[in-house]
Amino acid sequence: MSELQSYDKPAITIDEQIILLIKRGLSVPDKARAAHYLRYISYYRLSIYTRTFQVTGSEDHQFQDNVAFDDILNLYTFDTKHRHVAVFLIEFWIFLSKI
């Protein structure tokens, strides 16, 4: 079994997360709205969805031109809704197979 990996990066506040996203080239027109979603979804949960919009090979995670926070949020929402449908269908198929 592998050992637990330790992380040296300090936690950053929601405001610092927004500043970091903006420094990386993300458009965040409504910072209060972005803070709301970062608070409830979390930066790290959303971060997997940012990769689609980042410059390929960018070590500092720079975003492509004209990418906005809502683009990431829309992709997250799309994925979440479809994942819920998929889980429902799997559970329904299991239910039907037991009848």
Considering the domain boundaries, does residue 79 fall inside one? yes
Considering the domain boundaries, does residue 89 fall inside one? yes
Per-residue buried b or exposed e for 55-81, using 16+ beta carbons within 10 Å of the residue's own CB: eeeeeebebeeebbbbbbbebbeeeee
CB atoms < 10 A from the CB of 38, how many?
A: 22
pLDDT in tens, 26-81: 999 999 999 999 999 999 999 999 999 999 988 899 999 999 999 999 999 999 99
Considering the domain boundaries, does residue 43 fall inside one? yes
- pTM for this one? 0.78
Domain hosting 39: range is 14-97
Number of domains forming the structure of the chain: 1
Considering the domain boundaries, does residue 7 fall inside one? no
